[in-house]
Amino acid sequence: MGDRLKDKVAFISGAGSSGPGWGSGKATAVLFACEGAKVLAADINLDAALETKRIIEAKGGVCEAVSGGVSRADDVAAMVDNCIAAFGRIDVLHNNVGIVEVGGPRPARRVGTGSTM
């Protein structure tokens, strides 16, 4: 374990993996924990976030897992509240999310208050 993020709290959205193996969100969460951060692993798929939590805890790190989607304001507020309740603050925010839609390129469409492609 390193110490570049010692005593920091990292909120990572998209901290699970949408498929088998390692996605960039899971890898980031584990790396941040290995560098000393306490991690809130948030993912729309709670089982994926819990898998990330198990990996972090097996390496001696600290992690809480929550479910939520960043395209829903109420979910974002709840995830932030969970992080504050668990760790008291947020020092690092890593938004690692995407919307997966099978098929070819599509025109941008409105989602919530922002737009996606």
Rounded distance between C-alpha atoms, residue 59 and residue 40, angstroms: 16
Residue the block writes with tokens 């599509």: 106
Kindly list the domain boundaries of the chain, sorted by start residue: 9-116
Q: Give the model confidence (pLDDT) of 31-67 as tens digits.
A: 999 999 999 999 999 999 999 999 999 999 999 999 9
Fold (CATH) for 9-116? Rossmann fold (3.40.50)
Strand, coil or helix: what is 48?
A: helix
Strand, coil or helix: what is 104?
A: coil
pTM for this structure?
0.82
Rounded distance between C-alpha atoms, residue 86 and residue 103, angstroms: 39
Round the average pLDDT of the chain to a whole number and report it: 89
How confident is the model over 16-26, as a mean pLDDT?
87
Rounded distance between C-alpha atoms, residue 27 and residue 16, angstroms: 9
Nearest to 103 by CA among 84, 117, 83: 117
Residue 15 confidence (pLDDT): 95
Residue 67 confidence (pLDDT): 97
Bridge partners of 70?
none
24-34 and 46-58 helices cross at what angle (nearest 10)?
30
CA–chain centroid gap for 98, Å, is: 12
